[in-house]
Amino acid sequence: MTTIRLATDKDNPQILKISKDLNLYYPTLSLTDFWVAEKGQKIIGMAQLATYGKIAFLSSVGVVKTEQSHGIAKELISKALATTDKDTYLYTVIPDFFKKFGFETTQEKPADLPSKGRYICEECFSYKCVTMIKHAA
Ligand SMILES: CC(C)(COP(=O)(O)OP(=O)(O)OC[C@H]1O[C@@H](n2cnc3c(N)ncnc32)[C@H](O)[C@@H]1OP(=O)(O)O)[C@@H](O)C(=O)NCCC(=O)NCCS
């Protein structure tokens, strides 16, 4: 059985390992505001939903390779997004995946949006990296 819950400090080593295994790690990564998917005491997926002023920001969405394609990311993202009443932004190179959750590409850059430099997105296929928004319900 898989449980989706907010992460605690005890999860940090596994979150860091998954970040590195999936190439989602960047040096300024802050291990706060993470949601995790837990199966048999093992963390198999994660997503970070942080608040910056008037917006929410989704990042570090990842599922360990052996557990992909079983709907884990879908559960994680749905549960995390249900906890915010703010417009949610993200940066991604796989927009088609996030379109499934109601995100659309945008050129908007609200004042509270953290810069791409903060997430090292400028170094990761920057030509493919788009900004997306899901408007608050
Ligand atoms: C992208 C990722 C998080 C998906 O996790 P997952 O648990 O396998 O996804 P799910 O099984 O919940 O898939 C949900 C839906 O998205 C689709 N999907 C999965 N990966 C996709 C991709 N790369 N592009 C487009 N659609 C994708 C699935 O087919 C599924 O569609 P359906 O609901 O119509 O059946 C996972 O492949 C991963 O960790 N990748 C490496 C890290 C990464 O690229 N993170 C995003 C960085 S911006």
User: What does the pLDDT average to over 125-132?
Assistant: 84
- How many CB atoms neighbour CB 18 within 10 A? 22
Q: What is the mean pLDDT of residues 108-116?
A: 93
Sequence-separated (6 or more) residues with CB below 8 Å from residue 81: 49, 58, 88, 101, 134
Q: What is the pLDDT of residue 123?
A: 65
pLDDT digits (tens, 9 = 90+) for 70-94: 999 999 999 999 999 999 999 999 9
* More confident call, 77 vs 122: 77
Give the rounded percent of residues in the chain with a pLDDT score beyond 70. Answer: 98
**Nearest residue to 129 (alpha-carbon basis) of 87, 90, 102:** 90
Proportion of the chain in helix, strand, coil states, percent, rounded to 5: 30, 30, 40
| Distance between Cα 73 and ligand 1 center (Å) | 6
Q: What percent of the chain has pLDDT over 90?
A: 84
Domain span at 74: 2-134
Query: What is the number of the ligand 1 atom nearest to the C-alpha of 63?
Result: 39
Atom in ligand 1 nearest the alpha carbon of residue 59: 48
Our count of domains for the chain comes to 1
Give the pTM.
0.95
CATH of the domain at 73: 3.40.630.30
The pLDDT, as a whole number, for residue 61 is 97
Structure tokens at 119: 């997430």
